[in-house]
Amino acid sequence: MGKEQYKESNKERYPHIFSPGQIGSLKVKNRIKYAATETNFPFGDGFVSDREVAYMEAQAKGGAGIVTTQGAYPDTKGEGKGFKGMMSIAEDRFIPGLARIAEAIKRNGALAALQILHCGREGGVELDYCLMPSVVPQRLSYFKPPRKISSYQIKESVQDHIRAARRAVDAGYDIIEISGIVGYLLSTFISRYTNKRVDKYGGDIKNRCRLMMEVLQGVKAEAGDSVPVGIRLCGLELLDDRGGNTVEESLESFLLAEEAGADYVSVTIGWHESSVSVITRDVPMGHWLYVAERIKKIVNIPVMMAFRQFMPETPEKAIGDGIIDFWEACRPMIADPELPLKISKGRKEEIIPCIACNLCFSRLYYHQPIMCSVRPTLGHENEADWGYYGFSRSKRKKKIVVIGGGPAGLQCASVAAKRGHKVTLLEKRELIGGNILLASKVDEGAIELLRPIKMLEGECLHSGVEIRLGIQYTPEALVEEGTDAIVIATGSIVKTFPLITSQNIFTPEDIIDKGKNPPKRTVIIGGEGVGLGIAVFLSRQGEYDLVIVEEGGRLGRDVNPFYLWQYLKLLKEKRVTLLTRSRVVGMEGKMLCINRMAEKEFIEVDGIIISQREPVKEWNLDLGHVAKEVYFIGDAKRPRRLHNAIYDGYRLGMML
Ligand X SMILES: Cc1cc2nc3c(=O)[nH]c(=O)nc-3n(C[C@H](O)[C@H](O)[C@H](O)COP(=O)(O)O)c2cc1C
Question: Which stretches of the chain bind ligand SF4, using CB under 6 A?
Answer: 331, 334-335, 354-360, 372-374
Burial grade of 610 (CB within 10 A; 0-12, 13-18, 19 or more)? buried
CA–CA distance, 594 with 51 (Å, rounded to integer): 50
Of 304 and 487, which CB lies nearer to ligand X in the complex structure?
304
Burial grade of 371 (CB within 10 A; 0-12, 13-18, 19 or more)? middle
Query: Shortest approach of ligand SF4 to residue 295 CB, angstroms?
Result: 25
Of 116 and 359, which CB lies nearer to ligand SF4 in the complex structure?
359
Neighbours of 18 (CB within 10 A): 21
The interface with ligand X within residues 2-41 (CB under 6 A) comprises 35-38
| Contact map string, positions 116 to 155, toward ligand X, x by CB under 6 A | -x--------------------------------------
Of 36 and 149, which CB lies nearer to ligand X in the complex structure?
36
Q: Which does 359 bind (CB under 5 to 8 A by kind): ligand X, ligand SF4, none?
A: ligand SF4
Using alpha carbons only, how large is the chain's radius of gyration in Å? 27
Please give the helix or strand (H or E) that residue 479 lies within, else none: helix 475-481
Please identify, among the stretches 192-200, 360-368, 400-408, 517-525, the one whose residues bind ligand X according to the rule CB under 6 A: 360-368
Query: Shortest approach of ligand X to residue 163 CB, angstroms?
Result: 19
Q: Which does 372 bind (CB under 5 to 8 A by kind): ligand X, ligand SF4, none?
A: ligand SF4
Please identify, among the stretches 190-198, 304-312, 559-567, 613-621, the one whose residues bind ligand X according to the rule CB under 6 A: 304-312
The residues, ordered by sequence, that sit 6+ positions from 91 with a Cβ below 8 Å of its Cβ are 76
CB of 540 within 8 A of CB of 519? no
Please identify, among the stretches 358-366, 393-401, 470-478, 563-571, the one whose residues bind ligand X according to the rule CB under 6 A: 358-366
Identify which of 332, 447, 315 has the alpha carbon closest to the alpha carbon of residue 37.
Answer: 332
Pure H helices in 278-398: 289-298, 313-320, 331-335, 339-344, 359-365
Q: Which does 357 bind (CB under 5 to 8 A by kind): ligand X, ligand SF4, none?
A: ligand SF4
- Return the residue of 30, 49, 59, 70 that touches ligand X, per CB under 6 A: 70
- Judged by CB under 6 A, does residue 370 bind ligand X? yes
Query: Shortest approach of ligand X to residue 250 CB, angstroms?
Result: 16
| Contact map string, positions 230 to 269, toward ligand X, x by CB under 6 A | --x-----------------------------------x-
Query: Shortest approach of ligand SF4 to residue 75 CB, angstroms?
Result: 28
Of 360 and 571, which CB lies nearer to ligand X in the complex structure?
360
Q: What residue type is assigned to position 293 of the chain?
A: E
- Judged by CB under 6 A, does residue 291 bind ligand X? no
- Judged by CB under 6 A, does residue 88 bind ligand X? no
DSSP of 441-455: TSSTTGGGGHHHHHH
- Judged by CB under 6 A, does residue 187 bind ligand X? no
Phi, psi of 358 (to 5 degrees): 70, 20
- Judged by CB under 6 A, does residue 361 bind ligand X? yes
DSSP of 6-64: HHHGGGGGSTTTTS-EEETTEEESSSEEEPP---S-S-TTSPPPHHHHHHHHHHHHTT-
E strand intervals along 181-255 = 229-236
Query: Shortest approach of ligand X to residue 246 CB, angstroms?
Result: 22
CB of 255 within 8 A of CB of 209? no
- Judged by CB under 6 A, does residue 456 bind ligand X? no
Please identify, among the stretches 149-157, 327-335, 446-454, 479-487, the one whose residues bind ligand X according to the rule CB under 6 A: 327-335
Identify which of 305, 296, 209, 291 has the alpha carbon closest to the alpha carbon of residue 257.
Answer: 209
Beta-strand relationship, 492-494 and 613-615:
antiparallel
- Judged by CB under 6 A, does residue 306 bind ligand X? yes
Question: How many chain residues interact with ligand X (CB under 6 A)?
Answer: 24
Of 306 and 587, which CB lies nearer to ligand X in the complex structure?
306
- Judged by CB under 6 A, does residue 71 bind ligand X? yes
Of 68 and 188, which CB lies nearer to ligand SF4 in the complex structure?
68
Residues in the chain: 656
Q: What residue type is assigned to position 336 of the chain?
A: D
The residues, ordered by sequence, that sit 6+ positions from 287 with a Cβ below 8 Å of its Cβ are 307, 308
Of 213 and 360, which CB lies nearer to ligand SF4 in the complex structure?
360
Query: Shortest approach of ligand X to residue 136 CB, angstroms?
Result: 21
Of 233 and 356, which CB lies nearer to ligand SF4 in the complex structure?
356
Q: Provide the 3-class DSSP secondary structure of residue 550.
A: coil
CA–CA distance, 623 with 487 (Å, rounded to integer): 11
Query: Shortest approach of ligand SF4 to residue 374 CB, angstroms?
Result: 5
Q: Which does 373 bind (CB under 5 to 8 A by kind): ligand SF4, ligand X, none?
A: ligand SF4
Q: Which does 261 bind (CB under 5 to 8 A by kind): ligand SF4, ligand X, none?
A: none
Q: Which does 355 bind (CB under 5 to 8 A by kind): ligand SF4, ligand X, none?
A: ligand SF4
- Long-range pairs for 351-354: beta carbons < 8 A, 24 or more residues apart: 351/455, 352/452, 352/455, 353/310, 353/448, 353/451, 353/452, 353/455, 354/310
Of 177 and 635, which CB lies nearer to ligand X in the complex structure?
177
- Judged by CB under 6 A, does residue 360 bind ligand X? yes
Query: Which residue's CB atom is positioned nearest to ligand X?
Result: 306
The residues, ordered by sequence, that sit 6+ positions from 590 with a Cβ below 8 Å of its Cβ are 502, 604, 605, 606
Query: Shortest approach of ligand X to residue 217 CB, angstroms?
Result: 20
- Write out the residues near ligand X by the rule CB under 6 A: 35-38, 70-71, 115, 117, 179, 181, 232, 268, 279, 306-308, 329-332, 360-361, 364, 370
